[in-house]
Amino acid sequence: MHELGIMESALGLVQRCAAERNARRVERVVLRIGTLSGVDPDSLRFAFEVVSRGTSAEGADLDIESVPATAYCKGCQEEFTATAADFVLRCPNCSVLCGDVRRGREIELSRLEFT
Amino acid sequence: MSNNTPTSADETSLGYEIHPLSGAAVLPGASLSAPLSAEISAAFSASPDGEVAVRSLDLRIPLLEKNDILAERNRGYFLGRGLSALNLVSSPGAGKTTLLERTLDDFALQTRCAVLVGDLETDNDGNRLRRPHVPVAQITTGTVCHLDAGMVARAAQSIDLGGVRILFIENVGNLVCPASFDLGEQVRVVLLSSTEGEDKPLKYPPIFKSAHLVLLTKIDLADALGFKREIAIQNIRRMAPQARIIELSARSGKGLQEWYSFLRGLAPAN
Ligand SMILES: Nc1nc2c(ncn2[C@@H]2O[C@H](COP(=O)(O)OP(=O)(O)O)[C@@H](O)[C@H]2O)c(=O)[nH]1
Ligand SMILES: [Mg+2]
Ligand SMILES: [Zn+2]
């Protein structure tokens, strides 16, 4: 699915950054993936194994930091973070359902470690 | 690699990170400039005893940046032309093409519309939608399970958008992947048909959370199927409180006037 394409662009960036810094080997790749990004972490892991094969990132650790959904409550003028796994974003203060999602859609290459 | 090499992994709670090699405080999201980095790399890539230090680099690069930039470009282009683009997303068979056929035969007689239609393999939908008064471009995506902003930009350039006020973009039938890809639309429309079950909104949070409008389609079948409309609507409200909801049937015509008046509200007076 689309995780393969996303991982391909991640690996392209990883290799470019690593090459610019004369890296020998990429040791760790850290991604930040929002729980509302529509991207599946397991599919990303699988895709990473596939696309990193034969590159300087083969065998590197892939860390996927999950970014929880955060919404803004207009009434309370406050952000809150989803606690339940069902993604129903109800303000813990006033119980109103909130559709203004402020975080949780991230699909980011966060950090690299290399030697 | 050596075992006890420093990394900045544990420093994030400070609000900044101490770069392990330069000792510089680095804000999350910032990266070292290339020349500094190269210097550090030369100095540290091998210590005298042959051990190789692990270097850490903060990037914070959005992986769909290219798509997002193209999407913003599309949005500006559409706005500049005074047209509203709608991205129609649903599971296969929820009724996107049928609703568009009907809309082109009624609504599009008064307000000029155009269609971009994505499909994995065939151009059937494009043929169903073709009308003398409607420019239509088919986007065959092959194995790609969603449209992206680049495909939309190319397809939009292949048709005559002169006088067009509403651009319908029928996405590939899929409730997962299209959620991540902004096309530059003004309105994201998610269709849910009464044949799909009431709990579907709860199973696909990303797409429903990104919807401006949810269309509950094939409402003519609801009774025969024992489809519980109130529960479906309650689930949509829970998952997508930001979205407007319209119940309709392209077959019976129920709800179509509401859909058309929604469209009229988008189309700037010409
Ligand atoms: N009963 C009924 N059937 C519909 C309605 N809209 C679409 N269909 C049928 O549902 C099937 C799939 O519709 P289609 O428009 O091709 O779905 P798409 O894949 O989302 O474009 C077709 O057989 C349509 O005739 C409707 O409002 N009522
Ligand atoms: Mg279709
Ligand atoms: Zn509140």
DSSP characters over B114-153 = EEEEEESS--HHHHHH-BTTB-EEEEE-TT-SS--HHHHH
Nearest residue, CB atoms, B37 vs list A21, A32, A38: A21
Residue B267 pLDDT:
78
Q: Which structural domain, as residue segments, surrounds residue B121? A: 65-266
Q: Which of B98, B116, B168, B259 to mutate to test the pocket of ligand 1 (most atoms within 8 A of CB)?
A: B98
Q: How many CB pairs under 8 A join A and B?
A: 112
| CATH of region A2-69+104-114 | 3.30.2320.50
Query: Is residue B269 predicted with pLDDT exceeding 60?
Result: no
Same domain, B54 and B79: no
**CB B63 within 8 Å of CB A3:** no
Q: Is B225 found in the same domain as B114?
A: yes
Last residue of a domain, one of B43, B60, B77: B60
pTM for the full predicted model:
0.85
Q: Are residues B137 and B214 in the same domain?
A: yes
Chain A hits for B209, CB-CB cut-off 8 Å, are 36, 87, 99, 101
C-alpha dihedral sign at B201, B202, B206, B209 = positive
User: Do residues B214 and B163 both lie within one domain?
Assistant: yes
CA distance B104 to B260: 11
> What are the b/e assignments for A27-56, b being 16+ CB within 10 Å?
bbbbbbbbbbbbbebeebeebbeebbeeeb
Same domain, B148 and B213: yes
d(CA B137, CA B151): 11
State how many domains chain B has: 2
* pLDDT top residue among B11 and A81: A81
Q: How confident is the model at residue B6 (pLDDT cuts 50, 70, 90)?
A: very low
Chain A CB contacts of B211 under 8 Å are: none
Burial class (CB in 10 A: 0-12, 13-18, 19+), A98: buried
Residue of A67, A46, A70, A71 whose CA lies nearest to B60: A67
**Is the same domain home to B53 and B35?**
yes
Rounded Cα distance between B78 and B118, Å, is: 19
| B206 within a domain of the structure (yes/no) | yes
Q: Provide ipTM, 2 decimals.
A: 0.92
User: What angle (nearest 5°) sits at the alpha carbon of residue B102, between those of residues B98 and B104?
Assistant: 115
Q: Is residue B228 part of a domain?
A: yes
Give pLDDT tens digits for B42-84: 445 555 555 678 999 999 999 999 999 999 999 999 999 999 9
State how far residue A16 is from chain B, nearest Cα, in angstroms: 12
- Give the model confidence (pLDDT) of B81-124 as tens digits: 999 999 999 999 999 999 999 999 999 999 999 999 998 888 88
